[in-house]
Amino acid sequence: MLGLKLLTDPRWANVAETNLEEILTDHAWCEQKAASNAISLITQNSEHQDLVHELTAIAIEEMQHFEMVIDIIKQRGYTLGRERKDDYVNQLMKFTKKDGSRNTAFIDRLLFAAMIEARSCERFRVLSQNIHDEELAKFYHDLMVSEANHYTTFLNFARRYTVDVNIEQRWKEWLEFEGELIKSYGKKEHIHG
Ligand SMILES: [Fe+2]
Ligand SMILES: [Fe+2]
């Protein structure tokens, strides 16, 4: 799925389901981080008009996802907890190239975003197929489709704007790195946990 090297063990969904308040809190903050990431990309690469427009739409959509999650939290009488750290995303960030040209760093930031969208999409699929809560199963199915579109958008921008990065080669490196990294996850009630 989406080129991912390792699929999530469906039993992770059962772990997530034991603590819906926690997974929803973590999920809300993932959406906020996705919006913030899109805004940073806009700020740092404002010369690309089509990117500015498409990422504005994505930033808005991610905040709409945030709103949907906090609505569910409220409806169910849960509390939105404080922002959760995302160790998985922090590890991916360390893999981004920061020492090359501006274009290299830009392209890698797009691939970083595509990578997170791909794994989030896969995790939403696992949730939608395995949790017993019908409302949330439907919710995660809908989000899965949306995140798959974001994944495609980021990857296509990387292909469009590369100057000298071999995208297919670098994307392969990303998939391999992530495939190893994700082996240490899948045990916690966090979206990337
Ligand atoms: Fe989202
Ligand atoms: Fe997304």
* pLDDT 10s digits, 103-122: 999 999 999 999 999 999 99
Strands, DSSP E only, in the chain? none
Q: List the structure tokens of 138.
A: 């439907």
Confidence of residue 39 (pLDDT cuts 50, 70, 90): very high
For residue 92, give the H/E element and its range: helix 87-95
Q: Say whether pLDDT at 1 is over 80.
A: no
Cα(24) to centroid(ligand 1), Å: 13
What's the chain's average pLDDT?
96
pLDDT in tens, 87-102: 999 999 999 998 889 9
> What pLDDT is recorded for position 180?
97
Its pTM stands at 0.96
pLDDT in tens, 119-128: 999 999 999 9
Cα(164) to centroid(ligand 1), Å: 30
- The share of the chain scoring above pLDDT 70, in percent, equals 100
Q: Which ligand is nearest to the CA of 147?
A: 2
Cα(39) to centroid(ligand 2), Å: 13
Which positions ≥6 away from 104 have C-beta within 8 Å? 97, 164, 165
Rounded to 10°, the helix 134-161/167-181 angle is 140
Report how far residue 87's alpha carbon sits from residue 166's, in angstroms, rounded to the nearest whole number: 28
Identify the burial level of 52 via C-beta atoms within 10 angstroms of its C-beta, where 0-12 means exposed, 13-18 middle and 19 or more buried: middle
Residue 84, phi then psi, degrees to nearest 5: -95, 140
| Residues 121, 144 contacting (CB under 8 angstroms) | yes
Q: Say whether pLDDT at 22 is over 80.
A: yes
| Residues 16, 23 contacting (CB under 8 angstroms) | yes
CATH of 14-184, one of 1.20.1260.10, 2.130.10.30, 2.60.120.40, 3.10.129.10: 1.20.1260.10
Report how far residue 2's alpha carbon sits from residue 179's, in angstroms, rounded to the nearest whole number: 12
Cα(157) to centroid(ligand 2), Å: 15
| Residues 165, 66 contacting (CB under 8 angstroms) | no
**Nearby residues for ligand 1 (ion, Cβ within 5 Å):** 31, 62, 65
